Each structure stands twice: as structure tokens, then as C-alpha cells.
Chains A and B, each alone.
Chain A
Amino acid sequence: MFKRQVTITVNGEARAVELEPRVLLAHLLREGLGLTGTHIGCDTTSCGACTVLVDGSAVKSCTMLAVQADGHEVRTVEGLTRASELHPVQEGFQEEHGLQCGFCTPGMMMSALALLERNPEPTEEEVRWALSGNLCRCTGYQNIVKAVLWAAAKLRPAGTGGVR
């Protein structure tokens, strides 16, 4: 039917694609662009596994049409790593054992990143609040919260806190 041409900046790279309006952003990322780090965990906009950043704000990519991202900047979990070095948020999940099966992890990390970009020194309560739209069936959340606090400490300029 009426395919549309859109250009979306994904992890810093402009991607021109032609697609039907009914394609969800999550589908475009996973199937169209092969970025399978963005997971789909439900059909009801409940789980947050599909969370990506659109212009810096956390969005459930299963609940946004890909055409709506035309002209916008999308960041996925694949965009965290730079030159094979883990992002502090990823390191935090490794150090604090913030994952078990890993299904929720990409979404958790993107919600965490959105929080830390807005609020570099969150309290534990603020971390819990910011992650409250992301469900995890494995960990019980405690280590996820620790992982984000670890990342916050790592991201702070030297001398203003540092890792506990």
C-alpha cells in the first residue's frame, strides 16, 4: 500500500528507509535494521523491554510508529558501546550483577541512560522511580538499582564522588 520514505538517525547514523505506516519502531529496528538488541516482551505496552531513546527521551518502541521517528534521533542499546568499550551503564550491570536472563536489560539500560542524562546524581529512590516502567522477571530489581547507581558514580567527573 502507501509506502513512505523516511530518514531516521539511528545511533548517530542517518538511515533512509521505505516502509508502511503500520510498521512499529520496534519492528523497524529489529527486522528492518537488524538491531535485535531492542526486545519485544509483550503485546500490551506493559514491559518496557523495547525502550529506546527518541530525541533523548525514553519511549516504548512497540508503541510508536516507525514513520513517527522521521527526522528524529533514535538511540538503541547497540549505540551504547563505543570502540568496543562498554558504556558505564553496561559496566555497572556487569559489576553489580544487574541481569540474569538479560531479556529486560536493553530496556533497563536505555531507561537508566535517559535518567542519568537528565539527572547525573539520582538518589536510589529516583532510580527506582525512573525504572518503574521496566519489568524484570528474574532479578528482583535490587542489583539493577545498584548497577545504575554504580554507573552514575562512574560517570561523575573525577573528584566528585567516584565508585564506592
Chain B
Amino acid sequence: MGISAFDALIAADQKIEQKDWMPDGYRASLIRQIAQHAHSEIMGMQPEAAWISRAPSLARKAVLIAKVQDEAGHGLYLYAVAETLGARREDLLDALHEGRQKYLSFINYPTLTWADVGALAWLTDGAAVVNQVSLCRTSFGPYARALVRICREESFHHRQGFDLLHTLSRGTPEQRQSLQEAVDRWWQPALAMFGPPDSKSTHSAASMAWRIKRASNDELRQRFVDLCVPQAKALGVRLPDPALRWNAERGHHDFTPPDYDELMRVVAGHGPRNRQRLAHRRRAHEEGAWVREAAAAHAAKHAAAPGTAAQHASAQEDAAEWPLWEVFVRPRRGVSHVHAGSLQAPDATVAMHSARDLYTRREEGVSLWVVPSRSMAASDPEHKDAYFEPAAGKPYRHASFYPPPEGVEGL
């Protein structure tokens, strides 16, 4: 397989898979985008996690924990996708911690009140849904599949945020005021999530040609604004844009685009909370090092089972890095285990615990297999023709090749 086969697959709107040949630029673009997406998921936990301890009802507390947990899960699905492209999670995290790779700018704003928790979810998860629903049709198979799972969960995030705000909108005058103020704070950062305008976007053209991206920044931003306007009405809040109005000619709302200079400043590290968010993330990673090292050391001591950290230690430069495992879930009794995704674990016991938490927390399964990724053998895409095409010329293997004579039954 080479460039012509790759181009043919893209042109036919087929998926590119892990072992397929792909241009270096395609691989690099994907890794850049997926890493930034994964970083945004895990960095995005912080503004909301800050409110778990103070959630004003136990029901809301549970919802918020579940949501923040999902974002960690999204990060995991996405880092696993990056691994299929040959990018190690540890290297991507280093790039995040050292500021070499970016995450979405809205995360660098503070959540000042409980209403911010709702506004953040309604607007930024809402923007993420618009963005990611479009991305579900991305040309890279593992990314597309992860996005399908993520989108299902994001719509829960979006809905619960709206529900939280809707409750405030029917509450006390103070609650209604905090609702309006929070929406005022989050509108611009949410609009900025779609990135720079198409005319200034540096990576968009190539990503569109390769069908990594399926819609432009400005198209998606417009779609988002059109969706928000009636929802804002239902909440009884004013969206903070005097220029916002329906344009019958275009069939869309006109609106003031976000301030791109501010977006660029915040992405470059000069937003209100960049410093604290990154420092928090780095600290958690550093303070966790002894735990990761301990588990790897324990696995090395008890390295009887295949796939333990020790077996792979030689191949890994970082002693604390855990090997990758593939997870298979039996959705219900009577059907086969299906590949769900992957995760990192020092050994089979921890892999099984994590698989249960990560891939079955919404009742997706009744049985689990975990297999060290390195123990999996896969057919080579180079051999696709030799392996699978010969099966095509043998229609006599199928019952349909033998039409029964008129009137004969039971065949």
C-alpha cells in the first residue's frame, strides 16, 4: 500500500486503520490533533473538579463526579488512539507538561460560582458536542470509534449542564443572577473553542483534504450559535452579544466572532489560569510517580504472567511506564467479546480493575478479557490482497449458489 491506495481510500470515504500506510504529514496532523484533544479532556477536569466538594445537593455532586470522571475516560480513549499511531502517552504528557503541546483555551478561565459549573457544561460541552459529532466521520478509524463513544457521553454532560442552569433559572433572584453572570463569562470562551477563523487557521486546509476534519471552524461555530439561541431563551438568559440577531437571508444568526487576539494570547499561556492549571497537572503527575514506579516494580518481581511490566521493561526507557492492554467486553450473555479499547496497567489484576471501571461503567458488559497489546498478532495490510481477495472468487461456498428447483422445500 502506498500513497495511491491511501488517496483512493480517502476519496472513497473509507477509514484508514492503524497498520495502513499513511503519509507522514497525515500521521503528524492526527497525532497533533488527538494529543491536543486528549490534553483538553484531562485539563478540562480541573475547573469542574474544583466544585465537587461544594456541590449544593448530593444528586448534583454525583452527577459532577460522574462527568469529571468521564473526561478522564475521554483522555484515556484518546491517548490510546495516539498509541495506535506510535505516539506514547508518556511523551505526549511530557509535551503537555512542558508546554510544547496545547489544550483548549476555555480551561484557563476560572469557575467562580456554582452557576459556572452549569454554564461551562452547557456551553463548552455543547460546543464539544457540535465539534465532535462532526469529527465522528473523521477518516482515521480508531479516532472515529473513540469519538462515537465520547459523543454519547458528551451529550450527557451537555444535558446535565442545561438541567443545572434550568433549575437555577426557576430559582431565587440570586440564583437567576448568578446564572446570567456565568453565561456572560462563558459565552466568549465557548465560541473560541472552534479555533481561529477559517482564513487564519494554519492546519485546517490539509486536515480537511485528508478528511481528518469534516467541517470548518466557522461552519461549526455558526452551527453552535444557532443551537444556543433557542436554548438561551428557554433558560431566560441573554447571550452577551449585542450584534446577535437572526439573519433571514442567510438562514443563520449573525453574531460577533470571538476575540482572536485574546484566544491566541490565552493559548500562548497568558490567560487568567494557565499557570495554575498546568502547575496543578504537573504536580499530580509528579506526586503520582512513586505509585506508578511501585506498581511497575511489583510487576517486575512477580513477572510470571505474560504482559507484565517487567517483560517489557527492556523496551521502555521509563521504568514507571505501564504496558498497554487491549480490552474486550462481552456486552451481554450469549454474544462474543468485542474489542472496546485499550489502557495502561502494570499487571493483569490492575488491568482488569481499570477495564471494569473504564469500559463497563455504563452497564456495557457482563464479562471482560484483557490482553497485553504486545501479545496480539495482526494481519499485515500489505497482505490484504493475498489474504482476503482469493475468498471472493468462490461463490460455490455459499448456499445461495444453489437455487433449489421449483417446489422443492427444506433445502
Co-complex (A, B): no
A residues near B, CB below 8 A? none
